[in-house]
Amino acid sequence: MKKVLLFVVLFLLLQTAMAVEKPDVLSRTGWGCPDGNESPSWTQQYANVTHVIIHHTATPNTDTDWAARVLSIWNYHTYDNGWGDVGYNYLIDPNGIIYEGRAGGDDVVGGHASGHNTGTMGVAFIGTFSDTEPTDAALDSAESLLAWKLSQNGISPLENSTDYAGSNYANIAGHQDVSATECPGEDLYSLLPTIRQDVYEIIQGCPAGDADCDGAVSDFELLSYIDTWAVGGASDFELLAAIESWANQ
Ligand SMILES: [Zn+2]
């Protein structure tokens, strides 16, 4: 019985994922949105997020005033497309600044992936990434944002699931996974496996019994982890002996 308990406790400890804090996000008033935190012509709807969909904005990488670019995208979506607000939930510039997109806060339904907007968080890298990769700063910010949202809702970064529309695809997907589009550009799309793995590692808070974050726990890692967690100063030998004698009682 005690053996079973011991393994249950260890299993739970190793499965425990950290709740990841939300990274700093520049508010709509912060980037100069004319409607501030409101979107008068687009009534908010809410749904628990099940997927993140990655986009690029297909705008010039030579921009220098990124807040101005966010404003111009807002104008385009709001007035040219007639949506009443910007479609993405978040936008990220090459310096790693995260901009709040669609008004309404957490879990608000955006307009970024036709037919798949409910329950999907749209995150757009500002620029064009068909034959160039985003900056490390942008990737780091995106991964922090994704780790926060996925850990909040207990979503695995490495798995697929079915969205509200009944389509099954990766929990971290590219726009082209749900629509006929080149978005988010091939060079960004090909980074999605790396992004998923990085987000997984952030959520796991490595090293927590899995120092190389490969999903496997070696005896050595397990011993170090138990040692740190339970006993502090005991040697591995003492700890093993203690566990053995306790489990055999
Ligand atoms: Zn897109």
Q: Which domains does the chain have, with CATH numbers?
A: 20-204 (3.40.80.10), 209-248 (no CATH)
The reported pTM is 0.79
| CA–centroid distance, residue 184 to ligand 1 (Å) | 6
CA 58 to centroid of ligand 1, rounded, Å = 9
pLDDT digits (tens, 9 = 90+) for 212-224: 666 666 666 666 6
Low pLDDT (below 50) residues in the chain: 208
Question: Given this model, what pLDDT does residue 241 score?
Answer: 72
User: In angstroms, what is the span from residue 139 Cα to ligand 1's centroid?
Assistant: 17
The 3-class secondary structure across the chain, one letter per residue, is CHHHHHHHHHHHHHHCCCCCCCCCCECCCCCCCCCCCCCCCCCCCECCCCEEEEEECCCCCCCCCHHHHHHHHHHHHHHHCCCCCCCCCEEECCCCCEEECCCCCCCECCCCCCCCCCCEEEEEECCCCCCCCCCHHHHHHHHHHHHHHHHHHCCCCCCEEECCCCCEEECEEEHHHCCCCCCCCHHHHCCHHHHHHHHHHHHHCCCCCCCCCCCCCCHHHHHHHHHHHHHCCCCHHHHHHHHHHHHHC
**Å from CA of 206 to ligand 1 middle:** 32
Residues with C-beta atoms within 5 A of ion ligand 1: 55, 175, 183
Distance 122 CA to ligand 1 centre (A): 8
pLDDT (tens digit per residue) in 61-112? 999 999 999 999 999 999 999 999 999 999 999 999 999 999 999 999 999 9
d(CA 132, ligand 1 centre) in Å: 16
